[in-house]
Structure 1
Amino acid sequence: MSRRGNCYDNAYMENFFGHLKSEEIYLNSYTSRDDLETAVHSYIRWYNYDRLQSKLNSNTPIEYKRAA
């Protein structure tokens, strides 16, 4: 939850949701809620463990966190 009057508190989550929508949700169609839920869980796992990110020196979030 963001503090009142501070729009920057949720910037990281808004950025992630933008990636989720553009890289997964908008590119696929889902026949059921279970299919969508499975896809979101798979995307989150891929995002954290496999997706290289330039802001993290070409590491995944998990690799970057372990190195800290």
Structure 2
Amino acid sequence: MNAMHQYLFDTYRAARLGDPMPPAPGTHDVAVVRSVVDRRRFERVLAGRPARGPLRTALHRWLRPSRPRSR
């Protein structure tokens, strides 16, 4: 049984019992991902590391390589 089947069973049961309908699968996915990213960023700040993630830092280094200094 996948998430859609479970949702259909829950919707049917809620309609029969007069309970509120459950949210559709995937309704809150964006909010969950955003909260996870915010939490990880917050934990990085508390640990004294930069708030930007390692992927962004690596991309920045790759796209803007440091120039050799002239003497």
Please confirm whether the aligned pair reaches a TM-score higher than 0.5, indicating the same fold: no
Q: Please tell me whether Structure 1 or Structure 2 has the larger radius of gyration of its CA atoms.
A: 2
Structure 2 length as normaliser, TM-score?
Answer: 0.31
Structure 1 length as normaliser, TM-score?
Answer: 0.32
